[in-house]
Amino acid sequence: MLVIAAPGQGAQTPGFLAPWLELPGFADRLGAWSELAECDLVRYGTTADADEIRDTAVAQPLLVAAAIAAALDQVVTGAHPVSRQSVAVAGHSVGELAAGVLAGVITADDAMRLVRVRARGMAAAAAAAETGMTAVLGGDEAAVLAAVEAQGLTPANVNGAGQIVAAGTMAQLAEFAKAPPAGSRLRPLSVAGAFHTRHMAPAEEALAEAAQAVHASDPVRPLLSNRDGSVVRSGKDWLDRIIRQVSAPVRWDMCMQTMSGLGVTALIELPPAGTLAGLAKRALRGIQLVALKTPDDLDAAHVLLAEHADSHDDSHAPEWRLLVAPAGGLFRAPAGHPETAAPGAEVGRGSDLGYIEMRGDRRSVEPTFPATVIEWLVEDGDPVSAGQPLVRLHPQAAD
């Protein structure tokens, strides 16, 4: 399976859209969407400086428009008739709006209307208090999360691959910086506020009101959610999640765990690409990656799409897939009836396959697809690291 991913705020760089405007129809799309977003997307994507495009009210519409414009006609609906079930889509933070378009849930025009409200609401909420975000790189995940929460901060982005973003008031972040978690380094982010925390509640309310005018269809291809990495089946559920996500943490780590469970072997990141491909390179080792930084990268993307073009909705499942540990800790086998997960047993989506025991917490081990257990690669009580293979499964054909 191939996944197409749309990046979130912070991925933009000055002039990144300039080469894309040479593609037929690209500038026209941006011109039309500029009116809906009430934002000159062409100028901001070509001649604006770093300070201008750092503004939340500018950055979010710019990112959504860039991802959708590059995907339409060039990727998802281009020359290769890819199976709806052989290509999944996901977006990081505001990139979820672009993913919703590519999954057929909302129209591009509605995405631009929603991102205008979302961006302005979050910018206004950020201006109401002195808040910010700091990336915590490295360190033990459980220890980092405990330290973040002990300081009253929110783990606003849990990105996997040793990257967690703490968010809260500037005073809280200053105290946090005095004693960073062991083995980690801190990098303050140049953002306007504490996104994906309770400080964004007013923006969530504004987006909920705007969403009442939007029709959401059920996804036509697998669509992953930032809330918990699950595959969303309902358009209404997706829209509700998009609204709540404004003030809730982004769990990109869970999205990548789902990608692993789905048997994803390739990822194309839409422009401005690089961030998500970098995370996938570390967390999903061995998959093929294409970061669409300029139109010169489209040929490589088309090669991946061509490899999935002959897939059929009922025959794309590989012979086996690995289910990996969602976090580091001790593996605990299913309680009560371990025979239900023994080799040869049939398990459904969300079945109990045990859990990872961490200090003061636990993470469930659940397949995201129906399958037959082939063999276990760990035993009850074994120490495991995040991403370590736990069990080999034979998946049933996609629904």
DSSP track, 45-81: HHT--HHHHHSHHHHHHHHHHHHHHHHTTTSTTSSS-
**DSSP label at residue 214:** -
User: Do strands 87-91 and 2-6 pair parallel, antiparallel, or not at all (unpaired)?
Assistant: parallel
**DSSP label at residue 270:** P
How many CB atoms within 10 Å of residue 169?
18
Q: Is 260 a catalytic residue?
A: no
The structure tokens listed for 202 are 């007013």
Cα four-point dihedral sign 11, 13, 19, 20: positive
Q: Is 337 a catalytic residue?
A: no
349 CB burial (10 A radius; 0-12, 13-18, 19+): middle
CA distance 338 to 353: 9
Instruction: Answer yes or no: are the C-beta atoms of 316 and 263 closer than 8 Å.
Output: no
178 CB burial (10 A radius; 0-12, 13-18, 19+): exposed
Backbone angles phi, psi at 31, to 5 degrees: -65, -45
CA distance 311 to 313: 7
Query: Which residue among 83, 93, 247, 260 is the active-site one?
Result: 93
Query: Which residue among 196, 199, 308, 316 is the active-site one?
Result: 196
Instruction: Answer yes or no: are the C-beta atoms of 217 and 188 closer than 8 Å.
Output: no
How many CB atoms within 10 Å of residue 359?
9
CA distance 153 to 228: 20
> Annotated active-site positions, please?
93, 196
